[in-house]
Amino acid sequence: MLSARKQLDEIRQKIEHNDTFEQARSTFETARQLLADLEKQYKDLDAEAEELRKNIKELENKLYGGKIKNPKELMGYEQEAGLLRNRLSKMDDSLLDMMERIESGKNRTARLKQVFDEARQTWDEEKAALRQKADEVNGQTVGLDAKRKELLKEIDGATLSLYEGIKSRRGQAVVRVEQGRCMGCRCFLSVSELQRVRGSSIVQCSNCGRILYLS
């Protein structure tokens, strides 16, 4: 029964968590967030570049509109326009680079989403099978509980008290004897102990106190 309950706990843990699915989801979410950040950076930089283009156009209107006649003032506007053009050129290069990175990021995110979707589908199928297995094991556990209750009715109070006491101290109260050794503490049994184990009486290991039986 303990083994069945342990198996049931393990099945429930597998239903609640799957390393492959979690890794695929984490990788996909990270890639999607990086792509979103990059697209925002591009949008902000593009807006800044657009504002710069407007400023350059305004300067060019002043330079070539014919209203300003002062050479010194015209030279000042020309220098300012040149600086803005250089800045815009660098921005355009950055925007082009970011466009390529965004395209690459979209392709990578799409691939990772496919991996994530496949991992989710696989886990969903595994969970369905695990839930069915859990129901089977749970049914076995219920059956074993009922059988245990029936057996307890046939055991006298002193024997049951002995069993519960050993179990509380040792964890496992009943152990097998193999090749003359107690499999609870691995100690060899005396000849008299082995003879008594072969009988029908309850025999405890002289070293660890566990109840012995021959398989």
Q: What is the pLDDT of residues 73-119, one digit of tens each?
A: 888 989 999 999 999 999 999 999 999 999 999 999 999 999 999 99
Question: Residue 30 has what pLDDT?
Answer: 97
* Whole-angstrom distance, CA of residue 155 vs CA of residue 172: 18
Spell out the residues 6+ positions from residue 134 whose beta carbon is closer than 8 angstroms to its own.
8, 11, 12, 15
Question: Residue 36 has what pLDDT?
Answer: 97
Q: What is the pLDDT of residues 119-139, one digit of tens each?
A: 999 999 999 999 888 888 777
Q: Report all structural domains of the chain as residue ranges with CATH numbers, in order of start.
A: 2-154 (1.10.287.1490), 157-214 (no CATH)
Reply yes or no on whether the pLDDT at 2 is more than 50: no
Q: What is the pLDDT of residues 4-56, one digit of tens each?
A: 677 778 888 888 889 999 999 999 999 999 999 999 999 999 999 999 999 99
Read off the tokens for 192. 């008299």
Q: Is the pTM of this model over 0.85?
A: no
Average pLDDT for 166-180: 89
Q: What is the pLDDT of residues 174-189, one digit of tens each?
A: 999 998 999 999 999 9
Among candidate residues 114, 213, 118, 127, the one with its CA nearest the CA of residue 163 = 213
* Whole-angstrom distance, CA of residue 105 vs CA of residue 187: 65
Share of the chain above pLDDT 70, in %: 90
Angle at 45 between CA 44 and CA 50, to 5 degrees: 100
Question: Residue 105 has what pLDDT?
Answer: 97
Q: What is the pLDDT of residues 54-67, one digit of tens each?
A: 999 999 888 888 78
